[in-house]
Amino acid sequence: MQKLLEVTYPTINIESLVEIVNATPNPEIATEMLCGLYVEPTINPQPKKGFRPNETNFTVLGYNKFNQEITYSYHAIPSCEYWVKNGEEAPAYGEKGLKYESGMYYSEDVAKKLGITKEEVSANYKRITVYGTPVVEGRNNTTNIVNWQ
């Protein structure tokens, strides 16, 4: 990094420049920018398939090159997790049922509630996620570019 800066800026005090570059969150990107070598990545307008299934209607708001983070807006999709007996239909979002929340995290918890063994739960029940209608109110979040693309 220092050699590249010395070649690019032969008349500037390199120690001061290196100190400034090292004060940034990403000295490598800062050096590339100063030397005219930085190329900003092309950001996909939509995230990769399977990215945060409880979010929808994504809009990229910006990219922080130093942190390599994308800021985006989205609409949240409320979800509820249930324990469902094999062969039975999943309840609609918000319906009463054997909910995953409220102390029903592990199969042991379900077994205790139903008065059966955890082996019976493992053999006869599965945990599923049921999604509701997306909330129209927009929210913002950030993620690393690797998670997005």
- pLDDT tens for residues 65-116? 999 999 999 998 888 878 888 888 878 777 766 555 555 667 788 888 888 8
Q: Which contiguous run of DSSP H or E holds residue 8?
A: helix 2-8
| Structure token pair of residue 32 | 């590339």
In Å, what is the CA distance from 23 to each residue of 13, 27, 132, 135, 149?
A: 16, 7, 46, 41, 28
The residue with greater pLDDT, 6 or 40, is 40
| Structure token pair of residue 12 | 């500037």
> What pLDDT does 100 receive?
53
> What pLDDT does 25 receive?
92
Taking a C-beta distance cutoff of 8 angstroms, is the pair 130, 91 a contact? yes
Rounded to whole angstroms, how far apart are CA atoms 34 and 8? 8
Rounded to whole angstroms, how far apart are CA atoms 146 and 54? 19
| pTM, 2 dp | 0.67
Taking a C-beta distance cutoff of 8 angstroms, is the pair 145, 68 a contact? yes
The residue with greater pLDDT, 45 or 9, is 45
Kindly tell me if the per-residue pLDDT of 64 is higher than 90: yes
